Amino acid sequence: MRLAFFPAALLLTTSVQAADLNHEQQQWLDELTGKFELPRAELTEAVAQASYQQSIIDAMTRPAEGKPWHQYRPIFLTEKRLQQGVAFWQQHADTLARAERELQVPAQIIAAIIGVETFYGVHMGSHKVLDALYTLGFHYPPRGEFFRSEFGHYLQLAREQNWSLDEHKGSYAGAMGMGQFISSSYRHYAVDFDGDGKRDLFAPTDAIGSVANYFHQHRWQWNEDVAYPARVTDADTADALLSPALEIDKTWAELAAAGVVLDRQLDADTPVKLIKLDGLEGPEYWVVRHNFYVITRYNRSPLYAMAVYQLSEQIKQAYEQSR
């Protein structure tokens, strides 16, 4: 359950004036001024409006993706999320069908993304986006450069959308809307799918079209599979083919020669990748294809991609049975 408010005394927040920034942070503002062609005064004012949030740093250091698969999967693959996914598809069937026709991305994938990200718009985040991007960009060195860039994108986005800087809330990482787009993705991939002249990812129609457009722009292949459960005849030989890279890096011929077995036929030159997940009863091997890699363009985690894929298959089956 998300609490609507906390007593002010319990919140660790610190408003920051530009004069409080050290020399390095002042240089960062100069860099953002050049990169985004924003007036220095506008950046200074944005920093002055922002508040440091220790809770954001805490959340950043314990992401769900750090869990093993057998603990990660039950977070997202639940009966309630499945049933809400079917209801979401039923409610927005025409919009999802148009996204399929125009952008060639399956309805179940779009629904699963929105389901995993925000439970179909129920939980879109409680942190001010400005605070999140300031906190991570200026006070979280491991990802500071990335989040400073997102801070600049957010200021540009606010200009483009005619928002006030403190208008929207999102995730602890500054992601927004039903599909949880970061600011740069909002600027590059959001679409006005309902034709009202605005790109509003907090509303279902634009969110559906924008998630579909994101996958379309990342070259989702219509009618191509995502992943197959696999068996291995020799774990050591198969494990030698594993790699931490997300890219599809093998052919089916290579995996088959290493003793990887599927319950289906693939052409020898089919591009694939072998992944291994920590299942409840031992290792799970999967052979994944290009579309699995596309899901990791949305979130760079094989666990996330597998959760989206499996939820999408459950939603599709339940939706078809409900018709």
**DSSP per residue over 233-249, as a string?**
S-HHHHHTT--S--S--
Residue 64's pLDDT is: 76
For residue 6, pLDDT over 50 is answered with no
Whether 56 and 135 map to the same domain: the answer is yes
Query: Could you tell me if 149 and 133 are in contact, meaning their C-beta atoms sit under 8 angstroms apart?
Result: no
Query: Is 23 a domain residue?
Result: yes
Q: Considering Cα of 214, then 71, then 5, then 60, what sign does the dihedral take?
A: negative
pLDDT confidence bin for 62, thresholds 50/70/90: confident
Query: Is 217 a domain residue?
Result: no
Per-residue pLDDT averaged across 262-271, rounded? 97
**How far is it, in rounded angstroms, from Cα 199 to Cα 191?**
5
CA 128 to centroid of chain Cα atoms: 18
For residue 200, pLDDT over 80 is answered with yes
DSSP 228: E
Query: Could you tell me if 232 and 285 are in contact, meaning their C-beta atoms sit under 8 angstroms apart?
Result: yes
pLDDT confidence bin for 17, thresholds 50/70/90: low
Whether 30 and 142 map to the same domain: the answer is yes
Per-residue pLDDT averaged across 73-90, rounded? 98
**How far is it, in rounded angstroms, from Cα 230 to Cα 261?**
6
Query: Is 213 a domain residue?
Result: no
Lowest pLDDT segment from 10-14, 127-131, 216-220: 10-14
Q: What percentage of residues in the chain have a pLDDT greater than 70?
A: 94
Whether 164 and 261 map to the same domain: the answer is no
Query: Is 57 a domain residue?
Result: yes
Whether 134 and 280 map to the same domain: the answer is no
Whether 277 and 141 map to the same domain: the answer is no
* Total domains in the fold of the chain: 2
CATH label of the domain that carries residue 172: 1.10.8.350
Per-residue pLDDT averaged across 51-63, rounded? 93
Query: Is 3 a domain residue?
Result: no
Residue 4's pLDDT is: 34
pLDDT confidence bin for 65, thresholds 50/70/90: confident
pLDDT confidence bin for 32, thresholds 50/70/90: very high
Query: Is 39 a domain residue?
Result: yes
**How far is it, in rounded angstroms, from Cα 152 to Cα 169?**
17
Query: Is 284 a domain residue?
Result: yes
Whether 145 and 239 map to the same domain: the answer is no
- Tell me the pLDDT of the chain averaged across its residues: 93
**How far is it, in rounded angstroms, from Cα 71 to Cα 193?**
36
Whether 283 and 232 map to the same domain: the answer is yes
Domain coverage including residue 165: 8-62+130-189
**How far is it, in rounded angstroms, from Cα 53 to Cα 16?**
11
Residue 21's pLDDT is: 82
Q: What is the pTM of this model?
A: 0.91
CA distances to 97, 114, 181, 209, 271 from 199, rounded to whole Å, are 19, 16, 12, 10, 36
Per-residue pLDDT averaged across 133-162, rounded? 97
First to last CA, the chain: 32
150-195 pLDDT per residue, tens: 999 999 999 999 999 999 999 999 999 999 999 999 999 999 999 9
**How far is it, in rounded angstroms, from Cα 16 to Cα 10?**
18
Whether 233 and 282 map to the same domain: the answer is yes
Three-state DSSP class for 45? helix
State the amino acid at position 270 in one-letter form.
Answer: T
Whether 27 and 139 map to the same domain: the answer is yes
The residues assigned a catalytic role are 117
The burial of 136, by beta-carbon neighbours within 10 Å (0-12 exposed, 13-18 middle, 19 or more buried), is given as buried
As given in the structure block, the two tokens for residue 100 are 């399929």
The burial of 210, by beta-carbon neighbours within 10 Å (0-12 exposed, 13-18 middle, 19 or more buried), is given as buried
Whether 141 and 275 map to the same domain: the answer is no
The alpha-helical segments, DSSP class H, found in the chain are 23-36, 40-49, 54-60, 69-76, 79-91, 93-103, 107-118, 129-139, 144-161, 183-189, 204-217, 235-239, 252-257, 290-298, 302-322
Whether 35 and 134 map to the same domain: the answer is yes
Whether 29 and 157 map to the same domain: the answer is yes
Query: Is 165 a domain residue?
Result: yes
